[in-house]
Structure 1
Amino acid sequence: MQNRTYKLLDSKLETGHVAPAQFFDGIDTSLLGLVRFTGSRPPEVLTPLQTIADAVSAARKALAMSRPSAAVTPLAAGLHAVRALRANLPSVLSADARYEIDLRLAHKERQFQDALVIASAIRLDALGDDGIVVPGQQLNVSVYAAVNSTEESRLESVTLAGFAGAPPTACAGALVAGKNVTCKANLMIPPHTRLSTPYWTPRSDAARYDFDPDVPFGLPFRPSPFVATFHLTIRGERVDVERSVQFRYSNVIAGEKRSELQVVPPFNVRVDPDIAVFPAADLPPEAELPAEAGSHEHPTHVASAFRWKDIRVTVGNNQKGTSDATVTLSAPAGWQIEPASAPLHFGREDEETTVTFKVRPPAGAHPAEFVLKGVATAGGTQSDLGYEVVEYPHIHRRHVLEKAETRAKVMDVKITPGLHVGYIMGVGDRVPEAIEQLGAAVRLIDPDTLASGDLSQLDDIVVGVRAYERRPDLRANNQRLLQYAENGGTVIVQYQRNEFNEAQYGPYPAKTTSDRVTDEKAPIEVLVPDNPVFTTPNRIGAESWQSWVQERGTYFLGQKDPRYVDLVRSQDPFPYNAGPKTGALVEARTGKGRWIYVGLGLWRQLPAGVDGAYRLMANLLSSGKR
């Protein structure tokens, strides 16, 4: 747990603005302390408060000396006293005093009711026969009430909220040990029920969130609308208890699990990739390029911009039984989409179908960002949303809604054609997909290939973030990468942590550090402007460092052999990380090839669609064409 420091700004206590050792020092939090709001301590308030406090003390004593059911009588007496006081607060009290006292008594009333249910050993449940529901779906709900004590209690009725349909009938009866009171109802999820998703959304302009105003602030999730209220009588007192309607299922690791009802769209529509990049160079197709295209002697011949890109739309059926639909990929006017649409047939719930659309922007399109949206249509109803499931054995299932969209960026970026790039995945990132978007062919390097495969067929080998931490085969066969570079290849190593320092994994001695630049707008100084990394095939200017997200980079190369050359320098604009930082982009010549360390956060910028990051990556990769 992290320590927190709080500063006292104001206080009604006579403390001289000196913060107490504990938050509640000097504040009477007892029931009798509520009389402070009255000013005159009238007996009409003081006496009932003492009665309530005595009931709490008696319940605690009974619980300590006997079993939980022994606390039922004093708890029922305390609940009765709380309700009597709330109903008869003296009219002479000010409106503010009545509000303050009644607010706290309402909490006590709820607490007494909950304690009575626990002390009486009453189990209440409301279960649906499906946990993933769509608006308009029928749902069977069963409610259960059971008791494991001899205390006098009775279920009077059950109220179900959030549904359309008839409530359960005859849901009442005395609660007797060993015998359940069970009721069933066939209900409907209302057609316009809100879909399940967090009630907070990330802001695009800051690392903060916007909150839906209709949810009480501070709750972890929006309360479920599907609620069963059990109306009980315990020792003559009315007790109302709410239970969210849940779905019960089994998990191979956690055993029985439960979740609230998750409301989903009729079809779960997802689009891949998240971003599609269309370089804007107006050149003939790659097949028409001259044979020497992309060579260092002819650097102006680069890959064509307007190749068709594949966009995959996956549609999952959330409805019961069979379903037919049509899927389309909508795009701005002038864009070419093939096919225009595709029919879908689902034989059951949870079945999925993926359709691949080929996409091309209009000729002469200028650099800009566009939106491509996947849409499933059935019976006049459209679904253009998908969702991500968040669930682990130790937590409840939750859904996060996502728009079925991909960002299509016509981008001013060029890359040498025909590149073949090997990628050594580390902890997992989306850089291979970004490289493919540039037009290069990417091959993930597995342990067998790294150990004994023919690496000479590759123009570049890119090492993923923290790969030296996660890939023992990389540590064992690192000499293969160094030999590949000496033979003329280009090795691009993204940021690594301490595991990189356990041996000499670079061509010359070097160690990574915890140095970083955390301001994504921090100025970048290019130290070797004529290096091909900044000139070929893209000119890296000031605009290439704009619109970065979250940070410039991290885990820069620190102590290093002088044969490493720093290409950039940067500095955070605030004093807590003062001083210029190098090691963010470092090049070393080795044999006929190059070894490059990239502490700049390209792994974060590329999935975010940052133009300058794509241009920089294109230049890094283009240098590997031999």
Structure 2
Amino acid sequence: MRSFVFILLLIPTFAFSQSQRQPDAAQIKLKLKKLNVLTSVLYMAAHPDDENTRIITYLANDYLATTGYLSLTRGDGGQNLIGSEIRDQLGLIRTQELLAARRIDGGQQFFTRANDFGFSKSADETFRIWNKDEVLSDVITIFRQYQPDVIITRFPPDERAGHGHHTASAILAQEAFDLAASKDIYPDQVKQFGTWQPKRLYTNTGRWWNTSINENTPGIVTLHVGEYSNLLGQSYTEIAAISRSQHKSQGFGSSGTRGDQQEYLEYMKGAKAEKNILEGINTTWSRVKGSDKIQPLVTKAIADFDEEKPYNTIPALLQIRKEILKLEPGIWKTRKLAETEQLLADCSGLFIDVTTDKFYVAPGQRVTASIEFVNRSPIEISVNKIQSGDIGIDSALSLPLKNNAAATQITYKRSVQKSEPYSSPYWLTEKHGVGLFTVTDKSLIGKPENDPAIHISFTIMLAGEQLTVTRPLRYKWTDPAKGEQARPFEIVPPVLVKLTNNVIIFNDASPREVTVLVTSASDGRITGALHLDIPQGWKTQPERITFDLKERGEEQVKTFQVFPSSQEETSTIKAVASIDGEGSFDRSMQTISYDHIPTQTLLSKAEAKVVRMDLKKEGSTIGYIRGAGDEIPAALRYMGYTVIEMKNEDVNAATLKQMDAVVLGVRALNTNTRIGYSMPALLDYVNNGGTLVVQYNTNGDLVTKNFSPYPLEISRDRVTEEDAAVRILKADHPAVTTPNKITVKDFDGWVQERGLYFPNKWDAHFEPVLSMNDKGETSKDGSVLVAKYGNGYYIYTSISFFRELPEGVAGAYKLFANLVSLRGTKPVVSPQVNKKRKSRQG
């Protein structure tokens, strides 16, 4: 009897919230065919959504190549169309969207440590901020680990790529193509992975920079990605559209295309191909020494496959597995061993699920693990051992699993090991810089996400062979509307603390109440004390507050009086809970939940920005109309405003009359499909003396063109340097004088950028207030445009307030307070204005 390891995939090819499902016969046959193809392709670009899902789908499902996507960043610097999460939290969402896409198109996913710091206008700037050598090291690591035969880049290595990150991704691909083969480059990597030389590197030439390209263009290799798969019942472009549509935070829903479609690949490095991107590459088992018997065995297994009885393929798979075990160590032994083991699981219909009744516990706390077994085949299967070092299970047993018998269930109640790490994304565990995440464990580089918190392994006998199956612990429940749901099981600190506000503004030297929510994540009673770490020159009363939590999930709110310093400053305070004999804990738990991705848990520091400034404002009530999602309403409340978040049906004269100002959320003109119908009422509101602040929008997908009382054109101009010089064009304009005096000092300490999608043409009624530009570029004067319309003010601003206000940037608060504080006069509506207003359409 031979013993070997049989590892089921930890992330199945369906949404994590659904119940486990076995692949159907068509999917099993596709995997069998893939078992006889030994080649790999790595697609490479800069961000989530840069990848061409048509090519990935085609290569993975038609060529049956092992296909991966290397995204240098996690998309942290982008905008979010489905919620208010930005930066690290957005990167977490977009990571999971990529994984959701790969589960559909059949690819694998990789990342470097590079942080998406926002739009970059050159590769030189990108490399300076990222630290080029570090990111290049990561790319070479992934090349050496993954060992791709072919590299395909999404972008060219020059300015045609349109973004510094894009250009940088192509440059890094070309450099790593050569350097990965050198034993003198990163020798520590060489000791671990060896060297690797890909066969060729091509660019997925885009039509936007090469409009005349076609399959007859010299040096071009064409992929006919629109082919139809009879086995899967869809064209590859239809599958690719479903994959692409997982990028929901970017608004990249895609409709599938049918019929012949082409993608073009342009030669860059290595061996040229004439017709086929895999020309000259041995894609058979003959590329592996000692594998002579495997190819015919797989071919026969494919030919003999019975769609009605896939379990009949198990003897052949066991024979294939035996031959693979004889091979010398190497990437193809590892890959094909895993594929064969997965096929054994698929063909046997073996169902093993491990669930628990709570989705988080603290180290040392007890957890209930409920295990369900079902054998859905006539193959003899029995369970001989159950083990988990994570929760201390080591049980020998003899449990036969009869064909489709009622589910066998076993329950363990065990304590999580005290040494288990917390379940927070590994790249966010430590503080990171602007350009690079901090990853102390180098073995994690390239991985898309953490491994599951708890594993349980099962030693089973299948058709006389001993196998080890490993499954993750999950939390599962039944939703009345959605049915069976699941989410990852997490390990968290014994007590969680959270400041109830992310930004706290001190308008003068008076103290403010600061509240902290403390929550037990432990069974049984927890007592301790809470304190605030505060900046030098600040103080709290009291210095410590005790808490007594009697059960898991119990919450208590504690309130401190915080006295600021006399100086204007932006700093940070942190909440810390101390438990006798346990230590100090300063983490809050943020949950990110959307239907298209698994629920994510982020254990971030329990911190808040504190802003000591002399902020003045006028008015008391602001109406806010949501766009793509941002935290501006919270920031307005921090300023002391009452914020009424208005739905489309609320936009009428009676409601608007109650508002001192109305603000449109970021990209409201792109995402609010009914905003066109609201604009006439909003412009009437301005005409009658109101103030309307319209935040940035993109120029490509405006819901309505009638969003301004006077002509205004949005461009793609932006100022990406957060420290770019700012010039005040009209020093006496109320937007920079009332109620707060704005100076160039107020633009210190900004993050990521100044602004984006500035208007570049506007009517003479608009007054530009500020001017700014990136180094070496012309002045951009459209960041804040103010127009008097009738008796009120219409303001269009592309300044990135949605980034600055959540970061506690004092100058941004002062400027935004001035914009919403602009006041009109009593209404005297001229016939001409009235006529123009009535002629407007949504």
TM-score normalised by structure 2 residue count: 0.60
> Secondary structure of 1:349's match?
coil
Q: Structure 1 residues 497, 236: closer, same or farther in 2, change over 3 A?
A: closer
Conservation of the 8 A alpha-carbon contact between 1:160 and 1:228: yes
Q: What CA deviation, in whole Å up to 9, does each residue of 1:77-126 have, x standing for no partner?
A: 2222333x24xxxxxxxxxxx5xx44532443343333223323322233
- Is residue 190 from structure 1 mapped to residue 417 from structure 2 by the alignment? yes
The aligned residue for residue 61 of structure 2 is none
1:350 to 553, 557, 569: 553
- Is residue 29 from structure 1 mapped to residue 316 from structure 2 by the alignment? no
The aligned residue for residue 112 of structure 1 is 340
Q: Structure 1 residues 81, 466: closer, same or farther in 2, change over 3 A?
A: closer
The aligned residue for residue 603 of structure 2 is 401
Conservation of the 8 A alpha-carbon contact between 2:476 and 2:487: yes
Q: Distance in 2 between matches of 1:506 and 1:359?
A: 44
Q: Distance in 1 between matches of 2:374 and 2:659?
A: 69
The aligned residue for residue 441 of structure 1 is 641
**Greater mean alpha carbon deviation, residues 252-261 or residues 266-275:** 252-261
The aligned residue for residue 806 of structure 2 is 607
Q: Structure 1 residues 361, 219: closer, same or farther in 2, change over 3 A?
A: same
Shift of 1:147: 1.8
The aligned residue for residue 61 of structure 1 is 303
The aligned residue for residue 574 of structure 2 is 373
Q: Distance in 1 between matches of 2:671 and 2:320?
A: 60
Q: What CA deviation, in whole Å up to 9, does each residue of 1:41-98 have, x standing for no partner?
A: xxxx3xxx22233332232222147621221222222222333x24xxxxxxxxxxx5
Percent of aligned pairs sharing the same letter = 25
Aligned pairs for 1:549-564 within 5 A: 549-564=751-766
Conservation of the 8 A alpha-carbon contact between 1:150 and 1:176: yes
1:258 to 477, 486, 497: 486
Letter paired with 2:350: I
> Secondary structure of 1:393's match?
coil
Conservation of the 8 A alpha-carbon contact between 2:493 and 2:585: yes
Q: Distance in 1 between matches of 2:488 and 2:475?
A: 6
> Secondary structure of 1:209's match?
coil
2:427 to 166, 187, 200: 200
Letter paired with 2:521: N
Q: Distance in 1 between matches of 2:304 and 2:673?
A: 62
Letter paired with 1:409: V
Q: Structure 1 residues 359, 500: closer, same or farther in 2, change over 3 A?
A: farther
Shift of 1:478: 4.9
The aligned residue for residue 82 of structure 1 is 324
Conservation of the 8 A alpha-carbon contact between 1:59 and 1:72: no
Q: Distance in 1 between matches of 2:679 and 2:384?
A: 73
The aligned residue for residue 136 of structure 1 is 364
> Secondary structure of 2:461's match?
strand
> Secondary structure of 1:270's match?
strand
Q: Distance in 2 between matches of 1:51 and 1:476?
A: 70
Shift of 1:621: 4.5
Q: Distance in 2 between matches of 1:369 and 1:525?
A: 23
Conservation of the 8 A alpha-carbon contact between 1:501 and 1:512: no
2:770 to 558, 563, 568: 568
Shift of 1:345: 5.1
Q: Distance in 2 between matches of 1:554 and 1:65?
A: 55
Q: Structure 1 residues 75, 522: closer, same or farther in 2, change over 3 A?
A: same
Q: What CA deviation, in whole Å up to 9, does each residue of 1:297-323 have, x standing for no partner?
A: xxxxxxxx1233332322233223565
Q: Distance in 1 between matches of 2:380 and 2:543?
A: 68
Q: Structure 1 residues 433, 239: closer, same or farther in 2, change over 3 A?
A: closer
> Secondary structure of 2:288's match?
helix
Q: What CA deviation, in whole Å up to 9, does each residue of 1:430-475 have, x standing for no partner?
A: 234334444x433326468753447677654444334456668875
Q: Structure 1 residues 148, 502: closer, same or farther in 2, change over 3 A?
A: closer
Q: What CA deviation, in whole Å up to 9, does each residue of 1:181-208 have, x standing for no partner?
A: 6544332111232111111129754354
- Is residue 239 from structure 1 mapped to residue 467 from structure 2 by the alignment? yes
Q: Structure 1 residues 504, 181: closer, same or farther in 2, change over 3 A?
A: closer
The aligned residue for residue 39 of structure 1 is none
Conservation of the 8 A alpha-carbon contact between 1:262 and 1:398: no
Conservation of the 8 A alpha-carbon contact between 1:326 and 1:377: yes
Conservation of the 8 A alpha-carbon contact between 2:671 and 2:703: no
Letter paired with 2:280: G
Q: Structure 1 residues 360, 19: closer, same or farther in 2, change over 3 A?
A: farther
The aligned residue for residue 354 of structure 2 is 126
Letter paired with 2:486: R
Consecutive unaligned residues of structure 2, counting only runs of 5 or more, are 1-48, 53-153, 156-169, 179-196, 201-266, 826-842
**Greater mean alpha carbon deviation, residues 264-273 or residues 483-492:** 483-492
The aligned residue for residue 448 of structure 2 is 220
1:508 to 710, 722, 726: 710
Shift of 1:406: 0.9
> Secondary structure of 2:468's match?
strand
1:174 to 366, 381, 400: 400
Q: Structure 1 residues 118, 529: closer, same or farther in 2, change over 3 A?
A: same
TM-score normalised by structure 1 residue count: 0.78
The aligned residue for residue 260 of structure 2 is none
Conservation of the 8 A alpha-carbon contact between 2:532 and 2:576: yes
Q: Structure 1 residues 483, 117: closer, same or farther in 2, change over 3 A?
A: closer
Conservation of the 8 A alpha-carbon contact between 1:466 and 1:497: yes
> Secondary structure of 1:350's match?
coil
Shift of 1:587: 1.6
Letter paired with 1:369: T
Q: Distance in 1 between matches of 2:595 and 2:563?
A: 43
Q: What CA deviation, in whole Å up to 9, does each residue of 1:484-520 have, x standing for no partner?
A: 5556554433234568783654443445444433343
The aligned residue for residue 90 of structure 1 is none
> Secondary structure of 1:607's match?
helix
Q: Distance in 2 between matches of 1:358 and 1:473?
A: 45
Q: Distance in 2 between matches of 1:431 and 1:184?
A: 48
**Greater mean alpha carbon deviation, residues 330-339 or residues 253-262:** 330-339
- Is residue 617 from structure 1 mapped to residue 820 from structure 2 by the alignment? no
Q: Structure 1 residues 161, 215: closer, same or farther in 2, change over 3 A?
A: farther
Letter paired with 2:769: L
Higher RCO (C-alpha under 8 Å, 6+ residues apart): 2
**Equivalent residues, number:** 565
**Greater mean alpha carbon deviation, residues 267-276 or residues 418-427:** 418-427
Letter paired with 1:430: E
Conservation of the 8 A alpha-carbon contact between 1:415 and 1:537: yes
The aligned residue for residue 597 of structure 1 is 796
> Secondary structure of 2:420's match?
coil
Conservation of the 8 A alpha-carbon contact between 1:155 and 1:230: yes
**Greater mean alpha carbon deviation, residues 391-400 or residues 490-499:** 490-499
Q: Distance in 2 between matches of 1:454 and 1:397?
A: 37
Q: Distance in 2 between matches of 1:34 and 1:515?
A: 53
Aligned pairs for 1:288-303 within 5 A: none
Q: What CA deviation, in whole Å up to 9, does each residue of 1:119-153 have, x standing for no partner?
A: 23322233334331111111232434432222233
Q: Distance in 2 between matches of 1:175 and 1:596?
A: 70
Q: What CA deviation, in whole Å up to 9, does each residue of 1:411-434 have, x standing for no partner?
A: 4x4425x64242323224323433
Q: Which has the larger radius of gyration?
A: 1
Q: Structure 1 residues 554, 141: closer, same or farther in 2, change over 3 A?
A: same
- Is residue 273 from structure 1 mapped to residue 474 from structure 2 by the alignment? no
**Greater mean alpha carbon deviation, residues 331-340 or residues 152-161:** 331-340
> Secondary structure of 2:517's match?
strand
Conservation of the 8 A alpha-carbon contact between 1:124 and 1:243: yes
Q: Distance in 2 between matches of 1:159 and 1:468?
A: 56
